[in-house]
Amino acid sequence: SQQGEEDPQALSIQEGENATMNCSYKTSINNLQWYRQNSGRGLVHLILIRSNEREKHSGRLRVTLDTSKKSSSLLITASRAADTASYFCATDLTGYSTLTFGKGTMLLVSP
């Protein structure tokens, strides 16, 4: 079963709006990462947040982590059409040496 579950499965917004995606997970983690995938391509790493961190920023991206609720959110501010892609959260589980991915959120940003 998937460790991380993103919500919503799909999101459609206009350029300039903010996009928020959520991720819930089930077990203890070392870190949580967000990735982006353009259609049919490889995944690109966006940001990593460690279990002892609560918030992290990178450009127009803001990630929060709540380990008590086992959840994370990715906020993309001032969205652009070029942000159209699928976004995945991935958890680094304690005791494992690889990442477990959710099924992703498909974001469509219309001009």
String of contacts with other proteins for each residue 69-98, x by CB under 8 A: -------------------x-x-x-x-xxx
| Stretch in the footprint of other proteins (CB under 8 A) among 12-20, 56-64, 74-82, 100-108 | 100-108
DSSP 81-102: GGG-EEEEEEEEETT-SSEEE-
Bridging pattern class, strands 105-110 and 10-14? parallel
Does position 102 interact with other proteins (CB under 8 A)? The reply is: yes
Instruction: Work out how close the CB of 36 gets to other proteins at its nearest, in angstroms, rounded to a whole number.
Output: 11
From the list 54, 57, 80, 103, which residue makes contact with other proteins (rule: CB under 8 A)?
Answer: 103
Tell me which residues in 8-47 interact with other proteins (CB under 8 A): 30-31, 33, 35, 40-45
Instruction: Work out how close the CB of 76 gets to other proteins at its nearest, in angstroms, rounded to a whole number.
Output: 19
E-assigned strand segments in 1-111: 5-7, 10-14, 19-24, 29-37, 43-50, 55-58, 61-66, 71-76, 85-93, 99-101, 105-110
Residue 69: alpha-carbon gap to chain centroid: 16
* Site residues for other proteins per CB under 8 A: 2, 30-31, 33, 35, 40-45, 48, 50, 88, 90, 92, 94, 96-104
